[in-house]
Amino acid sequence: MALLMRPEPLTADFDRLFNTLFDRGQATQRWVPAMDLVEHEDHFLLRADLPGLSDEDVSIELNDGSLTVAGERKAEHDQRERGFYRLERPFGKFSRTLTLPDGIDGGQIKASFSTGVLEVWIPKPEQRKPRRIEIGAANGNGKPETLEGSASEK
Protein backbone atom coordinates (compact mmCIF):
# COMPACT_ATOMS: atom_id res chain seq x y z
CA MET A 1 0.00 0.00 0.00
CA ALA A 2 1.41 3.31 -1.11
CA LEU A 3 1.34 6.28 1.18
CA LEU A 4 0.02 9.45 -0.49
CA MET A 5 1.01 12.77 0.97
CA ARG A 6 -0.79 16.00 0.37
CA PRO A 7 1.48 18.96 -0.08
CA GLU A 8 1.48 21.05 3.04
CA PRO A 9 0.61 24.76 2.76
CA LEU A 10 4.13 25.66 3.80
CA THR A 11 5.55 23.72 0.82
CA ALA A 12 3.27 25.60 -1.57
CA ASP A 13 4.47 28.90 -0.06
CA PHE A 14 8.10 27.89 -0.58
CA ASP A 15 7.36 26.92 -4.19
CA ARG A 16 5.73 30.31 -4.81
CA LEU A 17 8.69 32.12 -3.18
CA PHE A 18 11.18 30.10 -5.22
CA ASN A 19 9.36 30.91 -8.47
CA THR A 20 9.07 34.58 -7.55
CA LEU A 21 12.79 34.87 -6.85
CA PHE A 22 13.58 33.55 -10.32
CA ASP A 23 11.06 35.92 -11.93
CA ARG A 24 13.22 38.86 -10.81
CA GLY A 25 15.21 38.82 -14.05
CA GLN A 26 12.16 40.12 -15.90
CA ALA A 27 12.53 43.49 -14.17
CA THR A 28 15.72 44.17 -16.14
CA GLN A 29 14.04 43.84 -19.52
CA ARG A 30 14.47 46.74 -21.92
CA TRP A 31 12.23 49.68 -21.03
CA VAL A 32 10.12 51.08 -23.85
CA PRO A 33 8.13 54.10 -22.66
CA ALA A 34 4.63 54.62 -24.06
CA MET A 35 4.38 57.38 -26.68
CA ASP A 36 1.52 58.96 -28.61
CA LEU A 37 1.83 60.89 -31.86
CA VAL A 38 -1.20 63.00 -32.77
CA GLU A 39 -1.62 64.99 -35.97
CA HIS A 40 -3.22 68.43 -35.70
CA GLU A 41 -4.01 70.88 -38.48
CA ASP A 42 -0.68 72.72 -38.36
CA HIS A 43 1.55 70.50 -36.19
CA PHE A 44 2.28 67.05 -34.82
CA LEU A 45 2.31 66.48 -31.06
CA LEU A 46 4.44 63.72 -29.56
CA ARG A 47 3.71 62.79 -25.93
CA ALA A 48 5.86 60.35 -23.97
CA ASP A 49 5.18 58.96 -20.48
CA LEU A 50 8.48 59.14 -18.60
CA PRO A 51 7.61 58.75 -14.91
CA GLY A 52 10.42 59.29 -12.46
CA LEU A 53 12.60 61.14 -14.98
CA SER A 54 13.50 64.82 -15.17
CA ASP A 55 14.34 66.89 -18.23
CA GLU A 56 18.05 66.29 -17.54
CA ASP A 57 17.48 62.52 -17.96
CA VAL A 58 16.08 62.91 -21.50
CA SER A 59 17.62 64.05 -24.80
CA ILE A 60 15.90 64.97 -28.06
CA GLU A 61 17.92 65.05 -31.28
CA LEU A 62 17.02 65.83 -34.89
CA ASN A 63 19.28 64.19 -37.46
CA ASP A 64 18.64 63.69 -41.21
CA GLY A 65 14.86 63.95 -40.88
CA SER A 66 14.62 61.67 -37.84
CA LEU A 67 13.68 62.79 -34.34
CA THR A 68 15.13 60.64 -31.54
CA VAL A 69 13.99 60.74 -27.92
CA ALA A 70 16.40 58.92 -25.61
CA GLY A 71 17.16 58.65 -21.92
CA GLU A 72 17.64 56.39 -18.96
CA ARG A 73 15.70 55.53 -15.83
CA LYS A 74 18.09 54.21 -13.23
CA ALA A 75 17.27 51.34 -10.89
CA GLU A 76 16.32 52.54 -7.42
CA HIS A 77 17.52 49.48 -5.54
CA ASP A 78 20.88 48.10 -4.53
CA GLN A 79 21.66 44.67 -5.95
CA ARG A 80 23.26 43.65 -2.60
CA GLU A 81 20.06 44.06 -0.57
CA ARG A 82 19.12 41.14 1.63
CA GLY A 83 15.71 39.71 2.20
CA PHE A 84 12.71 39.24 -0.01
CA TYR A 85 11.67 41.92 -2.46
CA ARG A 86 9.90 42.07 -5.81
CA LEU A 87 10.77 44.49 -8.60
CA GLU A 88 8.31 45.11 -11.40
CA ARG A 89 8.96 48.69 -12.50
CA PRO A 90 11.16 48.64 -15.60
CA PHE A 91 14.35 50.66 -15.80
CA GLY A 92 17.27 51.13 -18.15
CA LYS A 93 18.12 53.05 -21.28
CA PHE A 94 15.59 53.73 -24.00
CA SER A 95 15.64 55.29 -27.45
CA ARG A 96 12.71 55.90 -29.79
CA THR A 97 13.12 57.34 -33.30
CA LEU A 98 10.45 58.95 -35.43
CA THR A 99 10.92 59.71 -39.15
CA LEU A 100 9.61 63.19 -39.91
CA PRO A 101 8.06 64.39 -43.18
CA ASP A 102 10.32 66.29 -45.59
CA GLY A 103 10.54 70.03 -45.07
CA ILE A 104 10.29 70.14 -41.26
CA ASP A 105 12.13 73.15 -39.84
CA GLY A 106 14.13 71.79 -36.90
CA GLY A 107 14.50 75.29 -35.47
CA GLN A 108 10.74 75.44 -34.92
CA ILE A 109 10.45 72.21 -32.88
CA LYS A 110 9.65 72.89 -29.21
CA ALA A 111 9.55 70.60 -26.19
CA SER A 112 8.33 70.75 -22.59
CA PHE A 113 8.46 68.33 -19.67
CA SER A 114 5.98 68.36 -16.81
CA THR A 115 4.79 65.77 -14.26
CA GLY A 116 6.56 62.91 -16.04
CA VAL A 117 5.15 63.69 -19.50
CA LEU A 118 7.35 64.92 -22.34
CA GLU A 119 5.56 66.92 -25.07
CA VAL A 120 7.24 67.75 -28.38
CA TRP A 121 5.53 70.15 -30.83
CA ILE A 122 6.61 69.55 -34.42
CA PRO A 123 5.23 72.15 -36.86
CA LYS A 124 4.15 70.79 -40.22
CA PRO A 125 6.11 72.03 -43.24
CA GLU A 126 4.47 74.70 -45.34
CA GLN A 127 2.67 73.34 -48.35
CA ARG A 128 4.60 74.06 -51.49
CA LYS A 129 2.42 76.05 -53.82
CA PRO A 130 2.73 75.74 -57.57
CA ARG A 131 4.51 78.67 -59.19
CA ARG A 132 3.13 80.04 -62.39
CA ILE A 133 5.66 80.55 -65.19
CA GLU A 134 4.88 83.37 -67.57
CA ILE A 135 5.18 82.59 -71.26
CA GLY A 136 7.10 85.22 -73.21
CA ALA A 137 6.85 85.96 -76.92
CA ALA A 138 9.34 84.23 -79.25
CA ASN A 139 11.44 86.40 -81.55
CA GLY A 140 11.59 84.06 -84.51
CA ASN A 141 14.45 81.72 -83.58
CA GLY A 142 12.33 79.80 -81.00
CA LYS A 143 13.85 81.41 -77.92
CA PRO A 144 11.88 83.76 -75.69
CA GLU A 145 12.97 87.38 -75.99
CA THR A 146 14.08 87.52 -72.38
CA LEU A 147 16.55 84.64 -72.82
CA GLU A 148 17.96 85.93 -76.09
CA GLY A 149 18.18 89.46 -74.80
CA SER A 150 20.09 88.37 -71.70
CA ALA A 151 22.45 86.20 -73.74
CA SER A 152 23.32 89.03 -76.14
CA GLU A 153 24.00 91.42 -73.29
CA LYS A 154 26.76 89.18 -71.95
Q: How far apart are the first and last CA of the chain?
A: 118
The pTM of this model reads 0.61
Q: Is the pLDDT score of 116 beyond 60? A: yes
pLDDT digits (tens, 9 = 90+) for 56-102: 999 999 999 899 999 998 877 766 656 667 777 788 899 999 998 88
pLDDT recorded at residue 10: 54
Which segment of 33-37, 57-61, 137-141 scores lowest on mean pLDDT? 137-141
Q: Is the pLDDT score of 128 beyond 70? A: no
Contacts of 45 (CB under 8 A, 6+ apart): 36, 37, 38, 119, 120, 121, 122
pLDDT recorded at residue 132: 83
pLDDT band at 140 (very low <50, low <70, confident <90, very high): low
Torsion of CA 23, 57, 98, 100, to 10 degrees: 170
Residues pairing with 121 in the sheet: 45, 110
Which alpha helices (DSSP H) does the chain contain, by range? Answer: 9-23, 145-153
Mean pLDDT in residue range 131-139: 78
pLDDT recorded at residue 143: 65
